[in-house]
Amino acid sequence: MTKGRVHILGIGGTFMAGVALLARALGWEVTGSDQAIYPPMSTQLEQMNIRLYEGYDPAVIREIQPDKIIIGNALSRGNPAVEYILNEQLPYVSGPQWILEQVLQKRWVLAVSGTHGKTTTASMLAWVLSYAGYNPGYLIGGVPENFGVSACLGQSDFFVVEADEYDSAFFDKRSKFVHYHPKTLIINNIEFDHADIFENMDAILKQFHHLVRTVPSQGKIIYPAQDDQVKKLIQKGIWSSQATFGLNSNPNSNLNPDWQVRLLSADASSFEVFYQGKSMGQTQWALVGQHNVLNAIACMAAAHEVGVPPTIALEALALFKSVKRRLELKADIQGIKIYDDFAHHPTAIQLTLEGLRAKVGKQKIHVCIDLRSNTMKMGIHQHTLAQSFAGADTVSIYKTSDITWPVESVIQEISENPAITAKIFSNVHDLIEALHGAVKPTEHILIMSNGGFEGIHDKLISRFQDKI
């Protein structure tokens, strides 16, 4: 006996695919529509036998006759399905609102927010709680490799959610995270992003302030001790307990974070954690990069709030397998390693490259980047993009016809460093052929995009396998 039929518009998105899994687990009959669905979300939806429809034909909704329609934020007025729903006065709701009403009521919500690191940190936190026996639910904008799916109802009061600042729906322009009402909130960092919906940094800080206002006084807000924008946010007002985190690298600093981490290796694959000045232990793990270590210590601070001892959290982190599309090794073909990474903001690009560089030493790194995000297409980051590639040996920028700002200026700035070769490509085939002719064994190809990149991953792997 099902609760009824729910149809999800925009089901291929990382968030909405997770909503689909939760609806299915709650007993709803789930179907969905989208324009384009690609891995890893297409894979997990297929595995759950959730029926998918391509496009937004109103005839699909007439055929299904859903009891509730969940509308993703990628859809806007003018979409034929949206217009049909409004004209017929059908019951609809945003994804975040549905999650609040159907999943989060009376649960201890642990929310992970920030410009960078949300998916990885939320995945870590869900894994640490699971390892500690808490059986948490979770909704994550990616697929944690420890779980294999992006969402789970769980079997306890605890629920981990990736708390995105992007808007909720065409009819609700508030950030998704204001719907989640967390008791424990991580703020990893705050930078300017999503220029298609936020006019400036103040607009972003306003939404984060709305989020802070929803945390109860008995709750806890966990944030970095040294982040200028987070400092501005805290100055706007905070009504909850606080915990700070940061690197234990400057003994003369005036900052004294509650949670500190000391790197024990150049690539940050091992580290030691301190709480209130006392060592909690060390661990070695599969991830690299200082940014991931900071993600880990924020996770430990949140897990500590629900009673997970730091020693247990360190054990769990040693077994953490990362997240798909976060420096994910897709193939190793005769010593040529091909990675898939989601980074699409200059800071994330730089941090990912720094982590990989620390891991591979002087071996060559070839970066291929798809300027797909709305902010990238608008050219908002064009003046800071070039410097983010400092850790690369070659940079291939994929420029589509809808990008009108002068990408050539970024290429010119990158090329001012004689150690880096940079080039623009207007089609994926030429990009693949260029890599095929240039990359040698022991070298690394890092593919960066927040989309499918026209299937470049599988095409590139196939092309290199032709050499064997």
Q: Which class would CATH give 106-318? A: alpha beta
**Within 329-455, where are the H helices?**
346-360, 374-377, 407-415, 428-438
Residue with tokens 């905070």: 238
pLDDT reported for residue 250: 59
Rounded to an integer, the average pLDDT of 46-58 is: 91
pLDDT score of 251 more than 90: no
List, for residues 328-343, the tens digit of each pLDDT value: 899 999 999 999 988 7
Q: Is the pLDDT of residue 43 over 90?
A: no
**Model confidence at 432: pLDDT above 90:** yes
pLDDT in tens, 196-217: 788 899 999 999 999 999 999 9
pLDDT attached to residue 253: 56
Region 328-465: CATH code: 3.90.190.20
What is residue 381's predicted lDDT score, i.e. its pLDDT? 84
What pLDDT is attached to residue 313? 98
pLDDT above 60 (res 365): yes
Return the pLDDT at 464: 92
Question: Within the chain, which residue ranges are assigned CATH 3.40.1190.10?
Answer: 106-318
Angle at 192 between CA 120 and CA 104, to 5 degrees: 45
> What are the start and end residues of each CATH 3.40.50.720 domain in the chain?
4-94
Answer yes or no: are the C-beta atoms of 264 and 270 closer than 8 Å.
Answer: yes
Between residues 455 and 186, the one the model is more confident about: 186
pTM: 0.85
CATH superfamily, domain at 4-94: NAD(P)-binding Rossmann-like Domain (3.40.50.720)
pLDDT value of residue 53: 92
| Mean pLDDT computed over 89-97 | 98
> Is the pLDDT assigned to residue 254 strictly greater than 70?
no
Quickly list DSSP for 364-392. Answer: -EEEEEE--SHHHHTTTTTTTTGGGGTT-
Q: Of 62, 374, 380, which Cα lies nearest the Cα of 197?
A: 374
Q: Looking at 208-222, 246-260, 392-406, 422-436, which range is the least confident one? A: 246-260
Higher pLDDT, 404 or 232: 232
pLDDT in the model for residue 1:
62
Give the per-residue pLDDT at 71: 98
According to the model, what pLDDT value does residue 444 have?
96
Residues of the chain with CATH 3.90.190.20: 328-465
